[in-house]
Amino acid sequence: MILSPSYDVCIIGAGVAGSAMAAYLGKNGKKVVVIEKNLAEMDRILGELLQPGGVQMLRKMGIESSLENIDAQPVIGYGMFLDGKSFQIGYKAEKGLTGFGFRNGKFVQSLRSILFTLPNVTVIEAAANSFIEENGEIKGINFTDSADQPKQIRASLTIVSDGALSIFRPSLSKSEKKVTGYFLGLVLENCDLPYPNHGHVIMSGTSPVLLYPITSTGTRALIDFQGEQAPRMGEELKQHLLTKIGAIIPESAKPSYMNAVNAGKYKVFPNHRLPANPVLKKGAVLLGDSLNMRHPLTGAGMTAAFSDCYNLGNCLLEVKDWWNSMEIELAIKKFYDTKTKQTGSINILADALYGVMTSQDLKEACFSYLKQGGLKASEPVSILSTLSRDKHMLQRHFFAVAFHGAGNILRAKSGKAKLKRSYRMIRDAVNIISPLLMSEKPGLGMKSLLKIARKIF
Ligand SMILES: Cc1cc2nc3c(=O)[nH]c(=O)nc-3n(C[C@H](O)[C@H](O)[C@H](O)COP(=O)(O)OP(=O)(O)OC[C@H]3O[C@@H](n4cnc5c(N)ncnc54)[C@H](O)[C@@H]3O)c2cc1C
């Protein structure tokens, strides 16, 4: 049975990306249907820190009101911690923009609530099963309704935003997702953060820990576990959290951290890497985590998704004839071709910074480099805040960190070992960033530079 003769756009998934996309297109007069498998508020540990650049995107799409009335907490910068030392860097206040911390479930419900105010947007609670495909073209989706009846939605374009575990990705992407580790999440009640309204990056120990406010009384703690195996729940994990991780948590935050560990309400989620490598197919486009993922260390996944929503939305709003599949295909191509300009620096920074966390020398170099302040702090932080998307500036600072660290080693240590160690650190930096730069459509100049760097190191 056909549910509706036709929509301009069918969106699979009303999470972060799908809801924002539906709101942007709906506000601009497109006839949109959204299919979401679960419209209830979710309790997730992901998508809870929105960078100022993400707030800017919400503003541009006219949906910044989604941040109101959800007890969202302003985040105005970062606190960096390494081996008992710490310092703070503020975001560059631009156009009154700050970041925000919130509960993901509350934020997504707030985005969804905008959809219910738009007469040309229909929201259906059901799971999409498969594409309707005719003559190599996607014409909509099949789903099963609550009475177990097979149904269809037909649309000129299907936007796939079914998240990290997308079942529709395989036919639209050449990349496969890779698990790079896990985050274990806890909520710390009434936590006394050393730098209120800041994200806290604790670089001490073997893997990074993040702390940031998500409600007026709650602080999110995310603890990284490297490798492809999820941490096993049980007494051993609890002891690890109490002792090894407990030892690196800032003193003022320790009591509420220990309480949260003892309460035992942990949630674990895999972290993925998925370079954007889409297959151009008539009638469908990927968006959000189904298209592209990076390590969540920098808290920029939602900003990348909103940048893509804004970019794709603008390409689609130029389409004049929604019955002309060629015109829609050209809009999708334009979106894919220009994506790296918007999100390349976000992807590179997230995975490069995670790479830095695996080397004590690079961690020390990064900490000491940023601590110098001035442009050495404000420019990297403008990329972290995603207000700047300048890939060249990012590369410059990344290599400057490595050379700064090498200089520190050469000055502080004596003997032949120091030469070897600084060479090794620069080699590690080259190895970390080269594949990331290669995934983001580097220019010829950058390709040649990377080739030379890899020959030397
Ligand atoms: C541990 C962790 C922490 C993170 N922290 C941050 C952070 O602090 N800041 C940040 O910006 N980013 C963060 N991210 C990344 C961020 O959460 C994602 O980039 C973002 O949620 C992507 O949005 P999305 O819409 O693609 O996916 P989602 O928000 O997951 O939405 C997918 C939607 O699709 C629905 N769906 C799935 N399958 C179907 C189907 N078959 N039919 C219908 N509906 C379907 C789901 O129910 C869901 O509502 C984090 C990621 C991880 C793993």
pLDDT for res 193: 98
- Regarding the beta carbon of 17 and ligand 1, being less than 6 Å apart is answered yes
Residue 319 included in any domain: yes
For the CA of 300, the closest atom of ligand 1 is 11
Residue 50 included in any domain: no
For the CA of 35, the closest atom of ligand 1 is 43
- Regarding the beta carbon of 107 and ligand 1, being less than 6 Å apart is answered no
Residues 6+ apart with CB under 8 A from 84: 204
Residue 65 included in any domain: no
Please say whether the beta carbons of 199 and 90 come within 8 A. no
Residue 146 included in any domain: yes
Q: Under DSSP, is residue 318 helix (H, G, I), strand (E, B) or coil?
A: coil
In the chain, how long is the greatest CA-to-CA distance?
Answer: 79
For residues 129 and 257, membership in a common domain is answered with: no
**Residue 262 is part of which domain span?**
71-102+178-273
- Regarding the beta carbon of 303 and ligand 1, being less than 6 Å apart is answered yes
Residue 47 included in any domain: no
Specify the CATH number for the domain of residue 245. Answer: 3.30.9.40
Element (H, E) at 19: helix 16-27
**End-to-end alpha-carbon separation of the chain, Å?**
62
> What CA–CA distance (Å, rounded) separates 109 from 51?
19
For residues 237 and 372, membership in a common domain is answered with: no
For residues 416 and 373, membership in a common domain is answered with: yes
Pull the structure tokens for residue 45: 């540990």
**Is the pLDDT score of 126 beyond 50?**
yes
| Distance of alpha carbon 176 from the chain centroid | 17
- Regarding the beta carbon of 140 and ligand 1, being less than 6 Å apart is answered no
For the CA of 18, the closest atom of ligand 1 is 25
Q: What is the pLDDT of residues 385-414, one digit of tens each?
A: 999 999 999 999 999 999 999 999 998 867
Residue 347 included in any domain: no
- Greater confidence (94 vs 205) lies with 205
For residues 131 and 187, membership in a common domain is answered with: no
Q: Sort 149 into a burial class: Cβ within 10 Å, 0-12 / 13-18 / 19+.
A: exposed
Whole-model pTM: value is 0.96
- Regarding the beta carbon of 181 and ligand 1, being less than 6 Å apart is answered no
Residue nearest to atom 19 of ligand 1 (CA): 301
Residue nearest to atom 15 of ligand 1 (CA): 301
- Regarding the beta carbon of 49 and ligand 1, being less than 6 Å apart is answered yes
- Regarding the beta carbon of 292 and ligand 1, being less than 6 Å apart is answered no
> Which of 233, 253, 273 delimits the end of a domain?
273
DSSP code string of 181-225: EEEEEEEEET---SSTTSEEEE--SSS-EEEEE-SSSEEEEEEEE
For residues 306 and 283, membership in a common domain is answered with: yes
Residue nearest to atom 45 of ligand 1 (CA): 13
- Regarding the beta carbon of 20 and ligand 1, being less than 6 Å apart is answered no
pLDDT for res 413: 64
Residue 55 included in any domain: no
For residues 297 and 325, membership in a common domain is answered with: yes
Range of weakest confidence among 72-76, 231-235, 310-314, 417-421: 417-421
For residues 232 and 380, membership in a common domain is answered with: no
Q: Going edge to edge, which strands form the sheet with 73-75?
A: 49-50, 99-101, 73-75
Range of weakest confidence among 226-230, 319-323, 365-369, 370-374: 226-230
Nearest CA among 451, 444, 356, 339 for reference residue 394: 356
- Regarding the beta carbon of 365 and ligand 1, being less than 6 Å apart is answered no
For residues 421 and 301, membership in a common domain is answered with: no
**Of 34, 151, 274, 302, best ligand 1 pocket probe by most atoms within 8 Å of the beta carbon:** 302
Indicate the pLDDT class of residue 449, thresholds 50, 70 and 90.
confident
Nearest CA among 180, 178, 186, 187 for reference residue 207: 180
For residues 22 and 138, membership in a common domain is answered with: yes
Can you tell me the mean pLDDT for 222-234? 92
Residue 53 included in any domain: no
For residues 317 and 440, membership in a common domain is answered with: no
For the CA of 293, the closest atom of ligand 1 is 19
- Regarding the beta carbon of 45 and ligand 1, being less than 6 Å apart is answered yes
For residues 79 and 144, membership in a common domain is answered with: no
Q: Which value, to the nearest 10 degrees, does the dihedral of the CA atoms of residues 28, 29, 35, 41 take? A: 50
Q: What is the pLDDT of residues 240-265, one digit of tens each?
A: 999 999 999 999 999 999 999 999 99
Residue nearest to atom 39 of ligand 1 (CA): 162
**Is the pLDDT score of 141 beyond 50?**
yes
For the CA of 167, the closest atom of ligand 1 is 41
Q: How many domains does the chain have?
A: 3
> What CA–CA distance (Å, rounded) separates 352 from 437?
10
Specify the CATH number for the domain of residue 295. Answer: 3.50.50.60
For residues 442 and 405, membership in a common domain is answered with: yes
Indicate the pLDDT class of residue 40, thresholds 50, 70 and 90.
very high
